[in-house]
Structure 1
Amino acid sequence: MAAVEFAVYNLLGVFHKYSAKEGDALTLNKTELSTFLLQELPCCYRDDAMVLLDLDGDGEVDFLEFIEFITEITTELQDMYIHTILNYKRIPKFGAQTLTEKAIVTLIKCLEDKNNVPEVLRSLDSNRKAGIDFKEFMAFVANFAVAVEFTFVNLPKPEEGD
């Protein structure tokens, strides 16, 4: 599970690195989102990113909306990864440069290595195909990331002088 934890903690760190630049430290405003996309996922940059990612229409992207976006991107890349293996009989190489790209690549490769799929993940087999598919895996990762985020956000603040 260490690889999944590595990826989730990197995604949490990246989200808070950009969300802490202006205003509310728990959301990305339009400027922070644009900066994040340009620096972490330039292939996904779009001028209308806020409209696409702000699912509740409040003008900001919270962690739940952020992790939903990461889940979609990762699932699309995993589909391309499998397509390349099946059609070209080779394992594609990813040019992961940023923490976000490295986290995404880690998540894609996790199901390749059966040592990274402990029994708890097998219980996520919602379609009962005797194994979890990538969408089930990413649902687990997203829920895990949200749970970790919720825990950190709700930790009691230290008193002055502690």
Structure 2
Amino acid sequence: MATRQCTPATMPSQLEGAMDTLIRVFHNYSGKEGDKYKLNKGELKDLLQNELEHFLASQKDPSLVDNIMKDLDSNRDNEVDFNEFVILVAALTVACNEFFQETLKKKAKAK
């Protein structure tokens, strides 16, 4: 992704910034071993532990990374490409939104 000079007129929107961050995070972990455009199991584990530690803190299942890898790896090549990774991020985002909505509903009922 080409970088551009950020001036007030060209500052990225919040969504553009989020997309850029998502791409950069993926590529910070991909390709340390093997294909530079995919995450192997070790790279996926590092990404999950470093970037989603708060989401995973309550998870004590030792097979969590294996299960996530299995679920994401739709083409069964034992690696997670960017498209497969985005599915994980989207699913987690939906779950967070649902939690947020439920929390707001409970607060409204409590008043």
Does TM-score exceed 0.5, indicating one fold? yes
Amino acid at match of 2:91: E
Name the CA shift for 1:3/1:68 in 2 (closer, same or farther; >3 Å).
same
Structure 1 partner of 2:34: 23
Mapped partners of 1:20, 1:57: distance in 2: 18
| 4+ residue runs over 4 A deviation | none
Aligned residue for 1:64, secondary structure, equals helix
Question: How many pairs were matched up?
Answer: 89
Specify the code of the residue in structure 1 equivalent to 2:65: D
Counterpart residue identity of residue 87, structure 1: K
Amino acid at match of 2:74: L
For residues 33 and 15 of structure 1, what CA distance do their matches in structure 2 show? 9
Amino acid at match of 2:31: A
Matching residue of 1:47: 65
Residue type matched to 2:49 in 1?
Answer: L
Greater relative contact order (CA < 8 Å, ≥ 6 in sequence): 1
Q: Distance in 2 between matches of 1:67 and 1:47?
A: 16
Structure 2: segments with no counterpart, 5+ residues: 1-11
Distance, in Å, in 2 between the alignment partners of 1:76 and 1:47 is 18
Please tell me whether residue 60 in structure 1 is matched to residue 79 in structure 2: yes
Aligned pair 1:8/2:24, yes or no?
no
Please list every run of 5 or more consecutive structure 1 residues that lacks an aligned counterpart in the other structure.
90-162
Q: How many percent identity over aligned positions?
A: 37
Q: Is the 8 A contact 2:41 2:65 kept in 1?
A: no
1:80 equivalent to 2:99? Answer: yes
Matches of 2:40 and 2:65, distance apart in 1:
13
Report which stretch shifted further, 37-46 or 51-60: 37-46
- Does the residue aligned with 2:65 lie in a helix, a strand or coil? coil
